[in-house]
Copies of this chain bind each other. A is one copy, B any other.
Amino acid sequence: MSSVTGNKIKISVFGESHGEAIGCVIDGLPAGYEIDFEKIKKEMKRRAPGNDIASTPRKEKDEPHIISGLLGGKTTGAPLAMIIENTNVKSGDYENVMTVPRPSHSDYTAYVKYGGNNDIRGGGHFSGRLTAPLVFAGAVAKQLLETRGIYVGAHIKKIGAVNDEAFDYNNIDKYQLCEITSKAFPLINSENEVKMRSEIEKYRCEGDSVGGVIECAAVGIPAGIGGNMFDTLESSLSSLLFAIPAVKGVEFGLGFGFASKCASDVNDGYEVKDGKISLLSNNNGGILGGISNGAPIVLSVAIKPTPSISKPQKSVNLKTLENETIEIKGRHDPCIVPRAVPVVEAAVATVLLDSII
């Protein structure tokens, strides 16, 4: 039961979807770093609803307001606290959730865990809206990483039956990552956009939703970062990635693709180039023995279809213990994958900064 994460940099997230505000406290940031708020707002906007036809029409400005930890635009070393007011709240839409849990949502498990005391309006503290503070923290982390030459970027790898190209593990650089993260609909090959959008549109029209995969890369991480045994980079990255609602799978490099491979095909050999050691391939996604090997870190994340759909679904009444059919009204994303892209980047950036500092 913990909304606090991190070792050297601790992030504490608070708030509910339909409460007064959401926010976070970031403790342990080094002092003296100038924060570029335009960059932060840009990241926040990438995640915010209502920016794209493919997302929920609910609009939130997601304007982060700094309460502490900054002086003259620079970090002070004290906790950086930030809140975002919830401006566009229509609680009426969710009133029935209290008694009839939405399938594949946290409604039922939260009800059991908190004895019915949790705020269920809009998912409360479990809402995807709570990823906004994480994106804020990630945007700060990205800036600090960039001063060290580390860049993080992600793209939509798959939605439903439509795939984008995958990263070429061996040839990712910061320019490619910057280009991708600047796209409204982040794909490696933008020619896939039309097909993907129409895939989403198809499910929206049916009152349904669809899942996907996000692929994320980070370049510039020197070899030797991360811990052994229980503190592997894979452990800390996956731990925070699985904190993102709807994430149901995480893999590094070839990931599940390793299962049908032999070592002689996928082992990453070494060579000396210009007096430096580098890898001949990057099937391990930049991590060996839990520690970075200097190659780009590459990982993929599976996102399940948004469970809120308007089609009728079977549920139960928690009060009367009778079977019920539920049709979820309100403003929902037919596909959360595009908006989850900056959240995945934020999680990765946050963990990398914590590991490298």
State how many copies of this chain the complex holds: 4
A171 an interface residue at 8 Å Cβ cutoff? no
Interface string of A57-89 (1 = CB under 8 A from B): 000000000011101001111111101000000
**5 closest A-B pairs by CB:** A106-B289, A249-B251, A78-B125, A269-B314, A109-B291
Contact across chains for B234 and A247 when beta carbons are under 8 A apart: yes
Q: Given the complex, which residues of B lie within 8 Å of A173, measured CB to CB?
A: none
Contact across chains for A270 and B108 when beta carbons are under 8 A apart: yes
Contact across chains for B79 and A67 when beta carbons are under 8 A apart: no
A184 an interface residue at 8 Å Cβ cutoff? no
A28 to B316, CA, bound (A): 29
Residues of A within 8 A of B (CB): 1-5, 8, 10, 12-16, 19-23, 25, 27-28, 31-32, 67-69, 71, 74-81, 83, 101, 103-106, 108-110, 112-115, 117-119, 124-126, 130, 158-161, 203, 206, 208-213, 223-224, 226-232, 234-236, 238-240, 242-243, 245, 247-264, 266-272, 275, 277, 280, 283-285, 287-293, 300, 302-309, 311, 313-316, 318, 321-323
Contact across chains for B263 and A117 when beta carbons are under 8 A apart: no
| Residue on B nearest A237 in the bound complex, by CB | B242
